[in-house]
Structure 1
Amino acid sequence: MATGDLERGNGKNRGNSYNRSSSSYSLENDEKQWTSWLVPMFLVANVDVFVVVMYINNCPNNNPRLEGRCVARFLGRLSFQPTRENPLFGPSSNTLEKLGALEWYKVVHGNQGWRLITCVWLHAGVIHLLANMLSLIFIGIRLEQQFGFICVGLIYLLFGLGGSILSALFIQRNISVGASGALFGLLGAMLSELLTNWTIYTNKAAALITLVVIIAINLAIGILPHVDNFAHIGGFLSGFLLGFVLLLRPQFGWVGLKNLPAGAPVKSKHMAYQYVFWVIGVVLLIVGFSVGLVMLFRGENGNDHCSWCHYLSCVPTSKWQCGN
């Protein structure tokens, strides 16, 4: 997305030569471009899971009294629940709950901690699925091409877990599903990647403003009812911190020792502030996940420790309420 079109460094210096003191040294281009295959696999997996969920949901047979009101009845058992029950064109909440939706009581008191992960692969409907998968394509493919599948895979899974933990701490009366936490984590990682690799980008201010605006708009949408903004915030914070740890790049102009003649001065591979960000990111990630998990499995309610935090997920207006 926003930083995908940024130019790195100075175009005159990005080739295969490095000039210093009127001497020319050979430099291998370290901008390795990875082939993106993991993100497309994530996309296929999410779509496949949704089809399986709809097959199990089986609106016509499992809800005989609603058979005539199932949406897209020509799809047979893949038809959707009535729009009054699910306006996103998807399964019933009961089906999502049975198949692994995030539900606080079952996680804490039912020893079903696996729901913190499975809920990331479930979606409430076609609209929900399309929105998340389009975001995954535009954000995830760019990151995988630049940093490889291992980083993106770890980031995606940890983002989803971070979003689930925060969601379970603050939303304890409803179920929650979706990859939104993981996707907001990718946005957070893009922001920290821009900050920690600041020296290699041109048009820094424009890129930063664009990315912050995109993030702000998406978080603002999260204050609407029936949207789990805590999953968004948890994923974003996890991604922002993990980006400092995994998405570190050498500063512009750095040359490996093998490319320099003996006695030539060598620049430090990373800037001092990059190491500071790295340490802060590691410490806050460990503390954040540890505190969050301990609070969750002790059965604590995050709202008891933050009386105003519920406004982060829904702000009541004259048009809607923020009940269950």
Structure 2
Amino acid sequence: MAFSFTPSFHKETTLDGLDQKRYLAIAIETARHLQWNIIYTGKNGFIAMVDGGFLTPIQEFRLIIKEDTALVISKNADGKLNDWAKLNQENVDTFIETLGQFQTSVTDDQVEEKLTELAPIFESAADDLLNAPLPSTKQNLLKFLGFFIPQKGYVITPLIIYINVAIFVIMVICGISFFEPSVKDLLSWGADYGPMTLNNQWWRLISNIFLHIGIFHIALNMYALIYIGVLLEPVLGKLKFASAYLLTGLVASLTSISYNGFSVSAGASGAIFGMYGVFLSLLTTNVIDKSVRKQLLISIALFVGFNLLYGTKSGIDNAAHVGGLLSGFAIGYLYYPSIIQPDKKGTELIVTMLIAVVTLGGSIVVYRMIPNVVGIYETKMKDFAIKESMALEVMSMPKDTTKELLLSELKDRGLYYWQENISLLNAVDSLPLPDVYKERDATLKQYCELRIKSYNLYYKQIEGKQPVSQSTIDSLNKEITDIIDGLNQSSKVKY
């Protein structure tokens, strides 16, 4: 058996004493009984499409009759490079078993009726395409490599793969981990992160879709891209495919920072989901051939549904997937007029440009509407630092400062600004910040409260009306110093 990169299974079986025509007639009825969609019938066999599973839902089934034997073949027909459920073997075994049952139950009259139906095919002078030899190992290898080589109707997909792989290789050469890059490294290479993206680093909305988190991440994404690229790019053409990829990737990134503003996001999956969305919408129209439309629709819908469900796991940016998918679905319908009129290049250009302008314009509006919570927070923290500095000025007043002035400054400046900072921290509690920020704010609040206690003790000590233990003041100052040391160690929030 020649090695094939497309999962397949085949088996030879005898005709059990039947002539080729009678065997073919019974075989066709077997396929119809199994509710397989026969798309070609020749003198020596037939080809059918099988909708048979969850992860590999579409297979191509072939029966090729040669003298007194029949070659039964089932292989993946939708571009998937796996057959985890062994559906191809199941197709072959089911067909052979069912055909055996039909052979014993079918009557001669029924067979003759089917032979009459097949007579035009047997009498035709046209060559039977099933007589073509099976592809060799070399041919299969070249077919597999063809997924990575630009060719007519399939140019942009390989180019996107080249860009993604090139960036990944350069990252590894520069010392980035081959398996699991650090968050710091991803951010330095252009990952999408709300506080940075919204801080005038808008280019991260695009750069992140060409960035991947290790070899397994890029391998899975490129596999999914090849699958949809093979099916969709010949339908859309270069301009619409490239435009849809970038636009849905942009929308996916915006959706990500809208819902997961504090997550670091990288990868092509948002844009790839966008292309699946485009294809899904086109599958609801007459753009795709009717004979395979239903099977592809089921296949793509199950694939997308499974991946969205899997995306609910922690660590996966499902918001980007949904944003890409929905924007792609809309773009697919908007592309429809230019797809059904391929000769009108002007229509294609105008439609593509209008979609790009509307998407970019909408993206700019959304980008500006998304609140930069960290930016707001940092502004508040600058105000906190100013008030803290003003409150601490009291403690550095000259030694010859009068008692009355010291008491006034402690009360009207020191205690006032520490109370102001507590109010400020209470206000920022309402911001949708990650837990690391909230924990820091709780520590800052504790710090302000300790300062207020120490200032009150200083006030009483200076006033002299009530005895104040110096050890109590020293104990408070020790707590304050410990908190300051802890804050200094974690002063830079880790993403």
Short-chain TM bin = 0.5 to 0.7
Equivalent of residue 45 in structure 1, options 160, 163, 166:
163
Decide whether aligned partners of structure 1 residues 103 and 219 sit closer, same or farther in structure 2, where only a CA change above 3 A counts: same
Decide whether aligned partners of structure 1 residues 288 and 192 sit closer, same or farther in structure 2, where only a CA change above 3 A counts: farther
Distance of 2:316 and 2:368 partners within structure 1: 25
> In the alignment, what sits opposite 2:208?
119
Give the C-alpha shift of residue 284 in structure 1: 9.2
TM-score normalised to the size of structure 1? Answer: 0.60
**Structure with more strand by fraction:** 2
Decide whether aligned partners of structure 1 residues 290 and 100 sit closer, same or farther in structure 2, where only a CA change above 3 A counts: closer
Which residue identity does 2:210 align to in structure 1?
W
Equivalent of residue 267 in structure 2, options 178, 181, 196:
178
> In the alignment, what sits opposite 1:314?
none
Q: 1:173 aligns to what SS in structure 2?
A: coil
Equivalent of residue 131 in structure 1, options 206, 220, 225:
220
Return 229-238 or 33-42, whichever deviates more. 33-42
Give the C-alpha shift of residue 283 in structure 1: 12
Which residue identity does 2:181 align to in structure 1?
P
Give the C-alpha shift of residue 145 in structure 1: 1.9
Q: 1:111 aligns to what SS in structure 2?
A: coil
Asked whether the 8 Å contact 1:46–1:121 carries over to 2, the reply is yes
* 1:35 partnered with 2:124: no
Q: 2:195 aligns to what SS in structure 1?
A: helix
* 1:228 partnered with 2:317: yes
Q: 1:202 aligns to what SS in structure 2?
A: helix
> In the alignment, what sits opposite 1:155?
244
Decide whether aligned partners of structure 1 residues 223 and 209 sit closer, same or farther in structure 2, where only a CA change above 3 A counts: same
Give the C-alpha shift of residue 211 in structure 1: 2.2
Equivalent of residue 219 in structure 1, options 276, 287, 308:
308
For structure 2, the 5+ residue unaligned runs are: 1-55, 59-75, 79-150, 344-351, 375-431, 433-494
Which residue identity does 1:292 align to in structure 2?
V
1:71-129, CA deviations, whole angstroms, 9 ceiling, x for partnerless residues? xxxxxxxx54xxxxxxxx13221111011010111111x21000001000100010000
1:161-184, CA deviations, whole angstroms, 9 ceiling, x for partnerless residues? 010000011112221100000000
Distance of 1:286 and 1:118 partners within structure 2: 16
> In the alignment, what sits opposite 1:299?
372
Which residue identity does 1:120 align to in structure 2?
I
Decide whether aligned partners of structure 1 residues 5 and 192 sit closer, same or farther in structure 2, where only a CA change above 3 A counts: farther
> In the alignment, what sits opposite 1:91?
181
Q: 1:196 aligns to what SS in structure 2?
A: coil
Q: 1:157 aligns to what SS in structure 2?
A: helix
Say which structure, 1 or 2, has more relative contact order (CA 8 Å, 6+ apart). Answer: 1
1:28-79, CA deviations, whole angstroms, 9 ceiling, x for partnerless residues? xxxxx943122111101101101111222x26xxxxxxxxxxxxxxxxxxx5
> In the alignment, what sits opposite 1:85?
none
Distance of 1:181 and 1:209 partners within structure 2: 21
Consecutive aligned runs of 4 or more in structure 1 exceeding 2 Å deviation: 1-6, 196-200, 202-211, 247-251, 281-296, 298-301
Which residue identity does 2:227 align to in structure 1?
F
Asked whether the 8 Å contact 1:169–1:300 carries over to 2, the reply is no
> In the alignment, what sits opposite 1:238?
327
Decide whether aligned partners of structure 1 residues 232 and 53 sit closer, same or farther in structure 2, where only a CA change above 3 A counts: same
Which residue identity does 2:372 align to in structure 1?
G
Give the C-alpha shift of residue 143 in structure 1: 1.6
> In the alignment, what sits opposite 1:18?
none
Q: Give me the identity figure in percent.
A: 34
* 1:102 partnered with 2:178: no
Matches within 5 A, 1:184-263: 184-197=273-286, 200-248=289-337, 249-250=339-340
Decide whether aligned partners of structure 1 residues 284 and 212 sit closer, same or farther in structure 2, where only a CA change above 3 A counts: farther
Which residue identity does 1:105 align to in structure 2?
P
Distance of 2:295 and 2:269 partners within structure 1: 26
Distance of 1:208 and 1:284 partners within structure 2: 28
Give the C-alpha shift of residue 213 in structure 1: 1.3
Give the C-alpha shift of residue 293 in structure 1: 2.6
Decide whether aligned partners of structure 1 residues 35 and 105 sit closer, same or farther in structure 2, where only a CA change above 3 A counts: same
Asked whether the 8 Å contact 2:247–2:356 carries over to 1, the reply is no
Give the C-alpha shift of residue 245 in structure 1: 1.4
Q: 1:240 aligns to what SS in structure 2?
A: helix
Distance of 2:307 and 2:204 partners within structure 1: 25
Asked whether the 8 Å contact 1:54–1:91 carries over to 2, the reply is no
Distance of 1:201 and 1:40 partners within structure 2: 28
**Structure with more helix by fraction:** 2
1:283-313, CA deviations, whole angstroms, 9 ceiling, x for partnerless residues? 99689646533422x4379xxxxx9xxxxxx
Distance of 2:364 and 2:183 partners within structure 1: 30
Decide whether aligned partners of structure 1 residues 208 and 160 sit closer, same or farther in structure 2, where only a CA change above 3 A counts: same
Give RMSD over aligned pairs.
3.4
